[in-house]
Amino acid sequence: MAFTRPTLTDLVARDETDLKGRLAGGDALLRRSIERALARSHAGSVHGLYGRLDSLAMDLMPDSASGPQLARWAGVWGLEKKPATAATGPAQLTGVNGSIVEAETRLQRSDGVEYRVTADVTIVGGVATAALEASLPGVAGLAEEGTALTFVSPVAGVASAAVVGDGGLTGGAEEESDPQLLDRLLARIRQQPQGGAGPDYVRWAREIAGVTRAWVFPERSGLGTVGVAFVMDGREDIIPLGGDLTTVANHIADLRPVTAQVTVFALAPVELDLTIELSPDDADTRAAVEAELRDLLAREAEPGGTILLSHIREAISIAAGETDHVLTVPSANVTADDEEIIVLGDITWS
C-alpha cells in the first residue's frame, strides 16, 4: 500500500476529535480551549515526523531517491556522481630561445577567466607548448582552438600574447546533477553489462565528466566497427570539441572488446532557428522560453530524430510568464539525418 502523508489540517482535526472524546467536560471546538491549543501543538510535531517518513519512503527505492540516498544507491551499482572538472589543454607561446615559463604562471582570456601552467616549459625555436588548466572547475574554462590569451604578469623573454593550441581547452564540466546521476543509475539497472553490447558503449561514454547523452552506431564502417557519438548538454554548444572526443575515445579504448574498432565522432549540428512573436515580450519571458526550448531538445533531439512543430509550440506556451505567442519559423517539423542532431539556433523576437 502506498504511503500517503496526511495534511496538517487533517492531523489537527484528528487531535481535536481525540481530545474531545477522551477529556470529560472539555470542548476542543471552543476557540480558546486548552484542547484546541494542545491539538495544534501536537499536530505540528507529528506533521514533521510524517514529513520525515515521507522522505524515507521516497528514498526506499532508487528511482525516487535523491541526495545522499541517491548517491548510496548509485554506489551499490558501482556508480559515483561525476565531480566538477577543470578545462585543460595546450597553449602556444612565443619568445626568446631558452626563456622559461614556470609552473603556476597565470594566463587569462579577455573575459578574465584564468588558467595556470601545470609544468615548466622552455622556449625552443621561438615557440613552446604549455599545458594549461583552468583555475576554477566548470564550463566557464572551455575555450576553442585559437582563443587569445595573455599573461597575467609579464614573463621575461616571452611574448605577452598566447593562443589556445590544438584541440582547444576541454574537459571542463559542472558537477553531475541528481537527475543526471539517476538517469545513469536506472540505465545501469535496466541494461546489464554485456562485455561490448551497444548499451555498454553508451554507458562508457557517459562515465566521462560533462557527457550527458550518447549513441552507438553498430558497424558504422563495416563489420567489427563501432561508432560512438555524444553531446554535452551542460554547455552552450552541446557538440563536443576535439579534446572531448579524444578523452572519450581513450576511455572506451581501455574497456572495449579487443576486436572492436571504435570511432568516436561528433554529430553534425542542425540549427533550429525560430521567429517568435511573444507576449509579453520582456527579458524574463524570453529567457524562460529559451530555457524551455533547450529542455525540449535535451529530451527529444537525437541522431536521425524529429522535433515536432507541436512540441515546439508547447515548449513556448509553458514558459513562465508567457501568455500568448505566434511562431512563424519553423513552419513544419524539423528532422535530422542519421549522424546529425538538432540544436538550438538563433531566436528572432518579432
Would you call 80 exposed, middle or buried from its count of C-beta atoms within 10 A (0-12, 13-18, 19+)? Answer: exposed
Render pLDDT for 299-347 as a digit per residue (tens, 0 to 9).
999 999 999 999 999 999 999 999 999 999 999 999 999 999 999 999 9
Kindly state whether residue 78 falls inside one of the protein's structural domains.
Answer: no
Domain C-terminal end among 210, 238, 265 = 265
Domain C-terminal end among 60, 78, 96 = 60
Q: Which residue, among 193, 214, 215, 173, has the nearest Cα to 81 in the 3D structure? A: 173
Kindly state whether residue 172 falls inside one of the protein's structural domains.
Answer: no
Residue 8: which pLDDT band, with cuts at 50, 70 and 90?
confident
Q: What are the residues whose beta carbons fall under 8 Å from the beta carbon of 156, sequence distance 6 or more?
A: 99
230 contacts 240 by C-beta, under 8 angstroms: yes
Q: Please give the full DSSP string across 252-304, using - where no structure is assigned.
A: HHTTS-TT-EEEEEPPEEEEEEEEEEEES-SHHHHHHHHHHHHHHHHHH--TT
* Rounded Cα distance, 79 and 185, in Å: 7
State whether 342 and 275 are in the same domain: yes
Residue ranges making up the domain that contains 218: 191-265
Kindly state whether residue 250 falls inside one of the protein's structural domains.
Answer: yes
Residue 24: which pLDDT band, with cuts at 50, 70 and 90?
low
Cell of 314: 508547447
Kindly state whether residue 3 falls inside one of the protein's structural domains.
Answer: no
Would you call 92 exposed, middle or buried from its count of C-beta atoms within 10 A (0-12, 13-18, 19+)? Answer: middle
- Total number of domains in the chain: 4
CATH number at residue 135: 2.40.30
State whether 296 and 326 are in the same domain: yes
State whether 216 and 276 are in the same domain: no
DSSP SS3 for 242: helix
Q: Which residue, among 325, 229, 219, has the nearest Cα to 279 in the 3D structure? A: 325
Mean pLDDT of 187-207: 93
pLDDT at position 60 is 85
Kindly state whether residue 216 falls inside one of the protein's structural domains.
Answer: yes
State whether 316 and 283 are in the same domain: yes
Render pLDDT for 58-103 as a digit per residue (tens, 0 to 9).
888 899 999 999 999 999 999 999 999 999 999 999 999 999 999 9
Average pLDDT of the chain to the nearest whole number: 92
State whether 243 and 272 are in the same domain: no
* Rounded Cα distance, 182 and 187, in Å: 8
143 contacts 164 by C-beta, under 8 angstroms: yes
* Most confident listed range (22-31, 126-135, 183-192): 126-135
Would you call 239 exposed, middle or buried from its count of C-beta atoms within 10 A (0-12, 13-18, 19+)? Answer: middle
State whether 98 and 160 are in the same domain: yes
State whether 282 and 324 are in the same domain: yes
pLDDT at position 26 is 56
Indicate the range of 12-16, 127-131, 239-243 predicted with least confidence.
Answer: 12-16
Q: Which residue, among 278, 126, 317, 303, has the nearest Cα to 215 in the 3D structure? A: 303
The secondary element (H helix, E strand) that includes residue 22 is helix 8-22
Kindly state whether residue 178 falls inside one of the protein's structural domains.
Answer: no
Kindly state whether residue 303 falls inside one of the protein's structural domains.
Answer: yes
Q: Provide the strand spans (E) within the chain.
A: 88-94, 100-101, 106-108, 114-117, 121-122, 127-134, 148-151, 161-164, 213-218, 225-231, 261-265, 268-279, 306-307, 324-329, 334-335, 340-349
CATH number at residue 197: 3.30.300.30
Mean pLDDT of 3-12: 84
Kindly state whether residue 234 falls inside one of the protein's structural domains.
Answer: yes
Residue 126: which pLDDT band, with cuts at 50, 70 and 90?
very high
DSSP state at residue 96? S
pLDDT at position 31 is 67
State whether 248 and 293 are in the same domain: no
